[in-house]
Structure 1
Amino acid sequence: MKPEFENIPLVKAEKRFEIEESGKKLLPFCPYVFAFIRKHPEWKRIVDERFEGYDKL
Structure 2
Amino acid sequence: MKPELQDLPLIDNSGGHRFELTVNHSTAFMEYGDREGALALFHTEVPGQLEGQGVGTALVEKVLAEIERQQRQLIPLCPFVTSYLKRHPEWQRLVAPAYQRWFQPAPQP
Tell me the TM-score normalised to structure 2 length: 0.39
Structure 1 CA distance, aligned partners of 2:94 and 2:66?
A: 10
In structure 2, the residue matched to 1:22 is 70
2:64 partner letter: R
Residues in 2 aligned to 1:53 and 1:18: alpha-carbon distance in whole angstroms: 22
Q: Which runs of 5+ in 1 are unaligned?
A: none
More strand by percentage: 2
Q: Which structure has the highest helix share of the two?
A: 1
CA pair 35-7 structure 1, distance change in 2 beyond 3 A: closer
TM-score (norm 1): 0.64
Larger Rg belongs to: 2
DSSP 3-state at the match of 1:53: helix
CA deviation string 1:2-39 (max 9, x = no partner):
5632554xx72x43331112121111111111010000
Q: Distance in 2 between matches of 1:21 and 1:30?
A: 21
In 2, Cα distance between equivalents of 1:7 and 1:26: 17
Alpha-carbon RMSD = 2.6
What is the percentage of aligned positions where both structures have the same residue? 28
CA 1:7–1:15: 2 relative to 1, 3 Å: closer
Give ranges in structure 2 of 5+ residues lacking alignment: 1-43
Q: Quick one: higher RCO (CA 8 Å, sep 6+), 1 or 2?
A: 1
- Select which of 79, 84, 87 maps to 1:36: 84
Consecutive aligned runs of 4 or more in structure 1 exceeding 2 Å deviation: 1-4, 14-17, 52-56
